[in-house]
Amino acid sequence: KGAWDPDWASSTLGVFICLSCSGIHRNIPSISKVKSLKMDYWDDAQVQFLAKHGNAVTKAMYEAHIPIYYYQPTYNDCQVLREQWIRAKYERKEFTEPGKQLPYSDGVKEGILWKRGRDNGQFLPRKFLLSEREGCLKYFTKQDAKEPKINVKIDVINATFQPEKIGNPNGLQITYLKDNKTRNIFVYHESGKEVVDWFNAIRSVQFHYLKVAFPIASDNEIKNRLTRNFLKEGYMEKTGPKQREAFKKRWFTLDHRRLMYFKDPLDAFAKGEVFVGSGENGYSVQKGLPSGTQGNFSWHYGITIVTPDREYLFTCETETDQLEWIRAFTSVINQAMTPQEYASKCLDAVSFPSCHSHSGYCPNAPRFFFHYS
């Protein structure tokens, strides 16, 4: 969805598709016959069928009743999201009838997900329970356990697919707030359908929770407050607040205005967080490091984040990484801060901790906020 100038089409569905999605269509040959627009022969009947249908007509048929909370992937999304989107539309026909009961829409979901151990890194089966009535997600270390290992309120949860980071094509990262810190858990399921159903079930429960919590908010406003992808992730080197310490390689995640860093990409907790505000509030990003920077570093493509309190220095391995990070920071800094973001910025100075987590982002602030002028 969303790719420019697709070179492929389905002669049985009558839709134009991009190269990456054409492979998915080929895996459901009973539904979709894929042909190249440039290299394959199209007979008159197939040409007329394609002209009669096309993406708009087919979309009106197969996407007539998509739940507003359902995540509709684009060509940039991972394989499992795109494949299950295509199968949901054309193979299972989940969106053709109004009010159809869907496996992620009844407010309760229970099942087994393989969860990565926080300390040993092993993936073990764990029972998960998602409840709209209770407004929470739980998981249990044993099938017959009466008390959950975690019980997380739905309004502090984010979920994003991370197949490369987790090392599994169906890998899902669930992030939530625990003891004023961001906690990550990493799960997967052997079935792509099942893990995408879990993802959309979380979005469904969040959506209905917010409809109650914010009754005057529009459906689209609520939809935009559901799960979100990280703006940018990857390795950079960082130095400490004195800017004389040696630069250390760390994994960074930019989640809107929160820049978090980890020793390892699969760490359960961030070692520190930095609030990235707006330009009108004194934040900026600069290419390179200040002259005379004393800390030793092995990567030479520097970035300086300027805040009202101090400067943060990073280095990237390549110029491409440097420019991508700068674009990501710039996109955040160019956005005006919302009242919620003002509230979430603590009054004390933002700093990278030297030995403990200290953040300019206040996790106690409500994650969901609607403002009306």
Contact 184, 121 (CB under 8 A): no
pLDDT of res. 4: 65
Place of tokens 């603590």: 346
pLDDT of res. 188: 98
pLDDT of res. 344: 65
pLDDT of res. 99: 84
pLDDT digit string (tens) for the chain, length 373 residues: 556 668 899 999 999 998 888 999 999 999 999 999 999 999 999 999 999 998 899 999 999 999 999 999 988 899 999 999 999 999 999 999 998 889 898 899 999 999 999 888 899 999 999 999 999 999 999 888 889 999 999 999 999 999 999 999 999 999 998 777 889 999 999 999 999 999 999 999 999 999 999 999 999 999 998 999 999 999 999 998 887 788 999 999 999 899 999 999 999 999 998 999 999 999 999 999 998 887 788 999 999 999 998 999 999 999 999 999 999 999 999 999 887 777 666 533 333 333 333 333 333 334 444 433 3
Hey, how many other C-beta atoms are within 10 angstroms of the C-beta on 97? Answer: 10
pLDDT of res. 88: 96
| Long-range contacts of the stretch 128-137 (C-beta < 8 A, 24+) | 128/187, 128/198, 130/198, 130/201, 130/202, 130/205, 131/107, 131/205, 132/107, 132/108, 132/204, 132/205, 132/208, 132/209, 133/107, 133/108, 135/205, 135/209, 137/174, 137/176, 137/202
C-alpha 295, offset from chain centre: 34
Q: How far is CA 216 from CA 110, 154, 220, in A?
A: 31, 20, 12
pLDDT of res. 345: 65
pLDDT of res. 75: 85
How far is the C-alpha of 285 from the C-alpha of 304, rounded, in Å? 6
**284: buried, middle or exposed (CB in 10 Å: 19+, 13-18, 0-12)?**
middle
Contact 160, 147 (CB under 8 A): no
